[in-house]
Structure 1
Amino acid sequence: MTRKKRRLTLIGVAGGVLALALGLVLYAMNDTIVFFNSPADIQAKNVQPGTRFRLGGLVKQGSVQRTESQQVSFEVMDGQSSILVRYKGLLPDLFREGQGIVAEGVLENPDVFRADTVLAKHDENYMPREVADALRRQGHWQGEGKASQQAQ
């Protein structure tokens, strides 16, 4: 075997080993490459109490209850099911009923999730104030979905 063939064989074997290792890593992480789980996912997967993960969904209307010690409880729903979330701390400014959130924490029991962090998601219509003001001055946008109506 010539020197060139040995080098090509070594490169081919190394590439195959790297591809196999990458495939095994991706297979092992198959269930954990999720940004968040919905309440329906938690029930379907039968997640055990004590498991740490991210929970995502909409804050159910009328479910937010606050106490004096910055303790907040609310329900997160996804249209199929809901789960009670307990959180102690300051909530983000965008947090409100009907708004999408992602909470990171631990499942205490099948119906209660204890959150360490709560992130409020803004909708797809979000626009920085400076951009919105510039578009208003140009007459292209008047806020809350009127840009698409004016373009027609």
Structure 2
Amino acid sequence: MNPRRKKRLMAIVAIIFGIGTSVALVLFALQENINLFYTPSELIEGKGPDKQKPYVGQKLRIGGMVVPGSVVRDEDSLFVEFKLIDTGPLVTVRYQGILPDLFREGQGIVAQGHLTAPDTIEAFEVLAKHDEEYMPAEVAEAVKGIKHEKPVYNIPKGY
């Protein structure tokens, strides 16, 4: 191989290695910012054909209906705890802050936060739908067929 071809080959290999390294670093950095959407059923039972569950500490979004009678507000702070449901199990959402004006029981919401237990989310953002017609497409698909009946649910004293 003559020196000119060898130089070109080394330059091409260096460029490919540089691009590969850059892509790997970008994907690694984005991994921290990716937040997957779950419904309460998917969170508890797993998502997809392999029933993959999120790990504790993972950043995620969850959407569902606020269970009537489950909203518990702390009298001394802005801490709120409520339950979400879709067609299956309940998930607890804990939030410290001011809830949207349109937030109410029996309403579809999307909460963004970190998983602190297999069925508990520590939310840093709670979003409620705009009006009676609008619901995010992910939530609308997830809550299709839900009967809006008040479930039998007892909240322990002290919350």
If the TM-score is normalised by the length of the shorter chain, which range does it land in?
A: 0.5 to 0.7
Q: How far, CA to CA, are the matches of 2:34 and 2:128 in structure 1?
A: 21
Query: In the aligned structure 1, how far is the partner of 2:94 from the partner of 2:71?
Result: 10
- The CA deviation at 1:83 is 0.4
Match of 1:87 among 92, 95, 103: 95
Equivalent residue, structure 1, for 2:65: 59
Larger Rg: 1
User: What is the percent sequence identity of the aligned residues?
Assistant: 32
Instruction: Name the counterpart of 2:119.
Output: 111
Amino acid at match of 1:54: L
**Kept in 1: contact 2:59–2:115 (CA 8 A):** yes
Post-superposition shift, 1:80? 3.6
Q: What amino acid maps onto 2:73 in structure 1?
A: R
Name the Cα RMSD after superposition. 3.5
Q: CA deviation digits over 1:88-146, x for unaligned, max 9?
A: 22112343332231231341x333323233233547x66xxxxxxxxxxxxxxxxxxxx
TM-score for the superposition, normalised by structure 1? 0.56
The residue aligned with 1:14 is: 14
Check conservation: 1:36, 1:53, Cα contact below 8 A: no
CA distance in 1, matches of 2:113, 2:72: 19
Q: Which structure 1 residue ranges, 5 or more long, are not aligned?
A: 127-152
What is the TM-score normalised by the length of structure 2?
0.54
Q: 1:34 to 1:14 in 2, by over 3 A?
A: farther
Q: Which amino acid aligns with 2:43?
A: I
Match of 2:156? none
Q: How does 1:129-144 map to 2 (within 5 A)?
A: none
Taking the aligned partners of 1:79 and 1:40, their CA distance within structure 2 comes to 7
Cα distance per residue 1:16-71 (max 9 Å; x no partner): 213433258648967973343333343321633xx142231123240323342333
Give the structure with the higher percent helix.
Answer: 1
